[in-house]
Structure formats: structure tokens, C-alpha cells
Structure 1
Amino acid sequence: MNAGTGERPWRGVLDFWFPDGRSLQIAASAHQDHWFWRMQGGADSEIIARFSDITAQAAAGNLDHWAADPEGRLAVIILLDQFSRALWRGSPRAFAQDPAALALSMEGLADGHYAALPVPWFRIVHGLPLGHCEGPDHLGRIDLLIGLREEIVAEAPARLQPIYRSLVKQAGDVRKVIAAFGRHPHRNKVLDREATPAEEAYLTAGDFPHDRAFQ
């Protein structure tokens, strides 16, 4: 799949993943609908049909050079952190790209690429690996993520602020899970991990933060 043309081969990824466009004048209702579509798996079939090849290229490290540009970096993060989940849903490979996505996200925070992104929805997606990637520094990264989202709320137009406040709350809910278990228990079955009794109780309740966006 050709993700774009000319000097910005990543534009096809961004244009697909952000039907919101690049204007802060977007209506709140349309913007929230786009978030539901992104975050609740509504795009899986189209990702598989259109972006399988380029997602595999990103997973193999063949698109790392895109990260020289802020939006190119964001596109690779999307491929590794989001499209991988659609393409390989239900298998360990869905999460295998998380460390690479996290590295790109952290580097982008450090080198100014995150700050250079033009709209808050780009920055939200840039930060997703901070909460997704499991590891010993997970809580600290989620605290960073919460702070970044709070900054987005403060800077967003008033009509969009409720959407971003809900994403601050969601990150806080994820923090509670990681503080309790040190990992995302809902991945245990896919990753063939034995659940602890406390995780079993959590899984039985079925109340997962990634399913509660915008509540």
C-alpha cells in the first residue's frame, strides 16, 4: 500500500487516521465520533485492507527514517501502536511493537516533535504508547501522560475540552490498573500469562479503562 506521494509518504496514514482534519473549528460532536471510531476498533477492517503491508514494514523497522519529521514520527507511532493492534488483534504480535512505539514517543517529547504537532488530537495519539507499553517505569510514564493531557485540556477550545477531560480521566483509570497489577491484565490470555487471583477478579468484572473512553 502506498501511504502517500512525494516528500511526505506518511500523509496517507495521517489523513486516514484523522478524518477530523487540522482545523480547531471542528464541531465537538463530529470530533467525538471520530474518537469513538479510532478508540473502539471501528477501523479494523479498513486498516487490514489498506495498511497491512505498510504496518508490517513499520514493524520491521523499515520506516524509522520517517521519524526525522514530526508528522512522519507520528505516522510510525500510529502504525506501531494502533494499526498493529488491528492487524494482529488476538495474537501476541499485536503488542510486540509497543517498545518501539514508546521509544519514538519519548524521543518526540524530548526533541520537540510532539510540541510541533499542529492539533491536540495529533498530540493525544503521539502519547498513547506511554500508557500502552508495559514495563518497570509504567507508572511514571502514565503520570507524564496525565500531565500532557491536562495541558491539552487547558489549551483546547472550550467546546472540545470535555472530550479531552474524559481522556485525562481515562489515563487516571489506567494508572489505577497499573498501580494494582503492574501490567494490563486484559492481555494475559493473548500473551499466555497466568493471571493472579486479584487479576482474575478484575477480569471477571470486565470493567476495563480502554472500554470507558469519554465516560
Structure 2
Amino acid sequence: MTHPGEVIEYWLSIGPGGWFRRDDDVDETIRSRFGSLHHEASVHKLDHWIDEPEHALALILILDQFSRNMFRNDARAFAQDEHARGLAKSALSAGHDKLVSNQLKPFFYLPLMHSESIADQERCVCLFHAANDPESLKFAIIHRNIILRFGRFPHRNPALGRHMTPAEQAFLDGGGFSA
């Protein structure tokens, strides 16, 4: 079985250049190397990892970030969002975000940024503001504003089989931010 430290080590090895852009090689590596671990996490077999800060971070990465890499443009990319968000909230309540490096801290907050709940979005903005992370705060505000405007992320509509409103389509056609 893969150890939580291996998840974090891999994530750090690809760095910011691999975290937030489409890269088919990264996606395939995550599928092949961590696919079975993702399955275990998705059926709650790894929820006990939440007790330790770095283990919790690894679990949240698997459910939140790895899902997006493994299942890009597919409803499964978002299927673990609620699970990841619940774990992130538990980790935040335990103060786990205060016990990891500043480079990794944002990954405790991203499940909130990925939420289509305005309450989660507002909390995410507050967390990035408190973390004094202006670059991430900028993206948190963009995400929050999309939810304020549409109540959801329009770019997810095709993958989730949701009807696209004319306003959402115009937003996307105009280069609207997708998260």
C-alpha cells in the first residue's frame, strides 16, 4: 500500500507547473500510480488518515486534486468533492493546515474553493486572506465571484450533464475562468 508520504512527495515533485495545468503525462502517472489508492480513499477506507496533518493532506490531495487529474472532463472528476470537503473541514478544525509548509497549506483550502456553496467560497477567501497568500487569494475571489454570479461553475455543466444557460455560455465563450 502506498504511504501518505509518497503522495505528498509525488505532488511536490511535479510542483506548481504540474498542479494547475492540463498535462496528459501527469494525469496518466496519477492514474497508474495512485488509481487503486484513489479507489480506497473514495470508499472511505483511508478516512483514518485524517488524524495526522500530513496524512490528512495526502488524503485530501487524493480525493480533491487527483480526482481532477484522473477523470478530467468527466463527472467523476467532481464525484469526491463532498468527501474531500468534509475531510478538509475536519482537518481545518483540528488545525492541520497550521502544521504543514506554506507551499502545501493551500491544498487544505482547495476543496472549499471547488465547492459550489457560497458559504464554502466565503470561508475559502477568508482562509487565503488569513494565510497572507495574495496569489491564491486572487483565485479564491475569482471562484467565489463565479458562484455569486451563477450559483455553480459553468465549465462543469457538460461533464455533469447540466443545461447551460445563455449567460453561462456567454461567460465561457468570453474566456470565462474554469476551475
TM-score, shorter chain, exceeding 0.5: yes
**SS of residue in 2 equivalent to 1:62:** coil
Does residue 36 (structure 1) correspond to residue 12 (structure 2)? The answer is no
How much has 1:132 moved relative to structure 2? 0.6
Does residue 199 (structure 1) correspond to residue 135 (structure 2)? The answer is no
Q: Deviations over 1:38-58 (max 9, x none)?
A: 111332121112111111111
Using the alignment, how far apart are the partners of 1:167 and 1:115 within structure 2? 16
1:90 aligned residue (51, 73, 80) = 73
Q: Deviations over 1:171-211 (max 9, x none)?
A: 1111110000011110000000001111111121123153x
Using the alignment, how far apart are the partners of 2:13 and 2:72 within structure 1? 23
Partner amino acid for 2:115?
C
Using the alignment, how far apart are the partners of 2:13 and 2:169 within structure 1? 38
1:149 aligned residue (128, 145, 148) = 128
Does residue 178 (structure 1) correspond to residue 147 (structure 2)? The answer is yes
Q: Deviations over 1:58-82 (max 9, x none)?
A: 1111111111111111111001001
Using the alignment, how far apart are the partners of 2:95 and 2:177 within structure 1? 32
**SS of residue in 1 equivalent to 2:18:** helix
Q: How is 1:1-215 mapped onto 2 (pairs within 5 angstroms)? A: 2-3=1-2, 9-19=3-13, 34-42=15-23, 43-117=26-100, 119-134=101-116, 138-153=117-132, 164-208=133-177, 210=179
**SS of residue in 1 equivalent to 2:36:** helix
Report the TM-score when normalising by structure 2.
0.92
Partner amino acid for 1:166?
E
Report the TM-score when normalising by structure 1.
0.77
> In the alignment, is the contact (CA less than 8 A) between 1:173 and 1:209 conserved in 2?
no
Partner amino acid for 1:13?
V
Using the alignment, how far apart are the partners of 1:108 and 1:81 within structure 2? 14
Partner amino acid for 1:71?
E
Instruction: Tell me which structure has the larger Cα radius of gyration.
Output: 1
> In the alignment, is the contact (CA less than 8 A) between 1:80 and 1:100 conserved in 2?
yes
Partner amino acid for 2:29?
E
> In the alignment, is the contact (CA less than 8 A) between 2:155 and 2:178 conserved in 1?
no
> In the alignment, is the contact (CA less than 8 A) between 1:170 and 1:209 conserved in 2?
no
Using the alignment, how far apart are the partners of 1:149 and 1:35 within structure 2? 17
Q: Deviations over 1:128-163 (max 9, x none)?
A: 0001122xxx2222222122212322xxxxxxxxxx
Structure 2: tracts of 5 or more residues without a match: none
